[in-house]
Chains A and B, each alone.
Chain A
Amino acid sequence: EDQVTQSPEALRLQEGESSSLNCSYTVSGLRGLFWYRQDPGKGPEFLFTLYSAGEEKEKERLKATLTKKESFLHITAPKPEDSATYLCARPAGGTSYGKLTFGQGTILTVHP
């Protein structure tokens, strides 16, 4: 069974200080990977889907990249409003009926 691990668990940045979040998984192979943003007390909000190694997608200050074994979410010059929990997820595989396995999330705090 695939295990999805995110690191770090928490990340504190100063406004404008760029960094990256990691999402790794134990079952290699490209079944796709999803990134979500979750604000406190709310449901996760879809950010990106990645399917191919080398694929990159961008949205404002966020850029997601994918290899066969892991994905990175790069945050460039973050602002306080980027503070949230970022979750990654992988399809469970096989006859999975669209089930996703989620990582534990990275709590990002951006200080002004």
Chain B
Amino acid sequence: SQTIHQWPATLVQPVGSPLSLECTVEGTSNPNLYWYRQAAGRGLQLLFYSVGIGQISSEVPQNLSASRPQDRQFILSSKKLLLSDSGFYLCAWARGIVRGYTFGSGTRLTVV
């Protein structure tokens, strides 16, 4: 069966510090991978998606970047965090769109 792992679960970082969130998928190959952010009381905003190794598409101009160094690994990064980067970050995978997404458990990021 397929599983998705996302860590850490919570993170408190000072403004200006770097960020690295990691997501890995098991039990499938060549998945589409997504990073979403969810602000408090709001829906999910797509940040990045990837259809293959090294292929990253950005949806929203921002202080963040993403990389896909391996088929089932997706990393969200920032060189210098801003207060506005606080939120709940979700990684998801899908094979096509027929069955929708499977989400990770999320990372609660607080920038102080």
Q: Residues of A at under 8 Å CB distance from B?
A: 32, 34, 36, 41-46, 49, 87, 89, 91, 96-100, 102-105
CB contacts (< 8 Å) of A87 on chain B: these are 43-44
Residues of B contacting A46 in the complex (Cβ-Cβ under 8 angstroms) = 99-102
Inter-chain CA distance A104–B59, complex, in Å, is 18
Within 8 A of A (CB), among B51-98: 51, 57, 59, 88, 90, 92, 94, 96-98
Interface size (B, Cβ < 8 Å)?
Answer: 27
Q: Flag whether B7 is at the interface (Cβ < 8 A).
A: no
- Expressed in whole angstroms, the Cα–Cα distance for A73 and B112 within the complex equals 38
Question: By DSSP majority rule, is chain B's interface helix, strand, loop, or mixed?
Answer: strand
- Alpha-carbon separation in the docked complex, A95 to B108 (Å): 31
Is the Cβ of B106 less than 8 Å from the Cβ of A104?
no
Beta-carbon contact of B94 and A43 below 8 Å: no
CB-based nearest B residue for A97? B51
Q: Which of B6, B57, B100, B104 contacts A34 (CB 8 A)?
A: B100
Q: B interface vs A, CB < 8 Å?
A: 6, 32, 34, 42-44, 46, 49, 51, 57, 59, 88, 90, 92, 94, 96-106, 108
Known A-B contacts A46-B100, A91-B97, A97-B32; the reply to A41 vs B108 at CB < 8 A is yes
Shortest Cβ distance from residue A12 to the other chain B in the assembled complex, whole angstroms:
16
Across-interface contacts of A45 in B (CB, < 8 A): 103
A100 — which chain B residues lie within 8 A by C-beta? Answer: 46, 97, 100-101
Identify the closest chain A residue to B98 (Cβ).
A49
Chain A residues whose CB sits within 8 angstroms of the CB of B98 once the complex forms? 32, 49
Choose among B34, B43, B49, B57 the residue with the greatest number of A CB atoms under 10 Å from its CB.
B43
- Among A89, A96, A97, the one with the most B-chain Cβ atoms within 10 Å of its Cβ is A97
14 contacts between A and B (CB under 8 A): A32-B98, A36-B100, A36-B103, A44-B103, A46-B99, A49-B99, A91-B97, A97-B49, A98-B49, A98-B94, A99-B34, A100-B100, A104-B43, A105-B42
